[in-house]
Amino acid sequence: MSPTKTAASKQRLVAVTLDENSIGRSNPDVEHERAVAIYDLLEQNSFAPANHGGGPYALHLSITGTRLAFEIRLENGEPVIAHLLSLAPLRSIVKDYFMICDSYYQAIRTATPDKIEAIDMGRRGIHNDGSRLLMERLKSKVDVDFDTARRLFTLICVLHWKG
């Protein structure tokens, strides 16, 4: 394996867990969506805590008040760092994302393909906005690429979804 591939394989998440005490369990539909979001995130990601050169990493997410706690460990469980991320800046984007997703799912049943495509473009645009904001909020804490930020934003949205 080349040195670049070796470094890249270390700068990634290999496990994501959710704190059941603060996040809790939900109905089967929500649990399924959470599992899919985690699977997608783990399937392909670029994740590197600032000023830390060795991974791969395990991420444990919990909610503390109005903040999302990122507890980052090495794959073997050794602590790396923990960050608290305020959810307040993401709240309106998550709300908008849920509203447009509802419109999209309603449109699938009755709207024309052009209307569905237009709503889906808006949905993707809001998702991208949330991903960019998340990248900005994590910038000095964790280096993630845009696709990883998208997958993390999806997971954050699923954490808010009540089903």
| pLDDT tens profile 129-139 | 999 999 999 99
Residue 73: give the domain boundaries: 3-160
| pLDDT tens profile 88-146 | 998 899 899 888 888 888 898 999 999 999 998 998 999 999 999 999 999 999 999 99
| pLDDT tens profile 26-79 | 778 778 888 899 999 999 999 999 999 889 999 999 988 889 999 999 999 999
Q: How far apart are CA 67 and CA 23, in angstroms?
A: 12
Count CB atoms within 10 A of the CB of residue 42. 15
44 closest CA partner among 154, 158, 157: 154
* Per-residue DSSP letter, 87: S
Q: Is the peptide bond before 49 cis (omega within 30 degrees of 0)?
A: no
CA neighbours closer than 13 Å in the CB half-sphere of residue 148: 18
Q: How far apart are CA 83 and CA 67, in angstroms?
A: 10
Task: Dig out the tokens for 88 from the structure.
Answer: 């307040």
* Per-residue DSSP letter, 143: E
Q: How many domains does the chain have?
A: 1
CB 157 within 8 A of CB 123: no
